[in-house]
A and B are shown apart, each in its own frame.
Chain A
Amino acid sequence: AQTVTQSQPEMSVQEAETVTLSCTYDTSESDYYLFWYKQPPSRQMILVIRQEAYKQQNATENRFSVNFQKAAKSFSLKISDSQLGDAAMYFCAYRSAGFGNEKLTFGTGTRLTIIP
């Protein structure tokens, strides 16, 4: 079974600075998807960024980028120019690319605080 580990329960960053959230995962599969979801106090789960395992290029979405290290099974999220609206819980998630196994497995989350 796949597992996702987020070792940082809480992180804080000064507004406009850069912060990196860590995520590691364990799998025996070669093809899969990785995601970062944001959950603000409104509790809505919002997709931040996704990465296909077969793509070597790291995904980017505006101020959000990932560092995907497949051999190390590491998938960190970098937030540049942090803004107050980035304050939220961030969840790393894994999904198999194989047909018949559609479940999304989540890490325990990292609570990000933005310091004005």
Chain B
Amino acid sequence: DAGVIQSPRHEVTEMGQEVTLRCKPISGHDYLFWYRQTMMRGLELLIYFNNNVPIDDSGMPEDRFSAKMPNASFSTLKIQPSEPRDSAVYFCASSLRGQESVYTFGSGTRLTVV
């Protein structure tokens, strides 16, 4: 398997623009997670899905952030409008319940909002 695939690897955008981050989980995995990593706050869980259904979105910072999982092989995290404080590395991870509780992470998207 190719692992969890995220795109783009880097994104630079201007404040106020819409940004969409993409994730393809490992085939067969039933959980998908979006994390954000910053120097100040470390790794924070934003939202996670089980079988394409959002289970816990309590980590989503505000209404500017939204996440979708239209099918088992694709998820998006959208920020609209983007702000400089959204600059961070965004990770997607997937797991299979019962598979020894192991998460597999993607390589992350580094977002810079100028």
* Chain A complexes with chain B: yes
By DSSP majority rule, is chain A's interface helix, strand, loop, or mixed? loop
How many inter-chain contacts with C-beta < 8 Å in the A-B complex? 45
CB contacts (< 8 Å) of A91 on chain B: these are 43
Which residues of B are found within 8 Å of A107, using beta-carbon distances? 42
Q: Interface size for chain A: under 10, 10 to 19, 20 to 34, or 35 or more residues?
A: 20 to 34
Minimum Cβ distance to chain B for residue A103 (Å): 5
Q: How far is the CA of A104 from the CA of B56 in the complex (A)?
A: 12
**Is A47 part of the binding interface, using a Cβ–Cβ cutoff of 8 Å?**
yes
**Interface, chain A (partner B; CB < 8 A):** 33, 42-45, 47, 50, 91, 95, 97, 99-100, 102-109
B-to-A contact residues, CB < 8 Å? 31, 33, 42-43, 45, 48, 50, 55-56, 89, 91, 93, 95, 97, 100-105, 107-108, 110
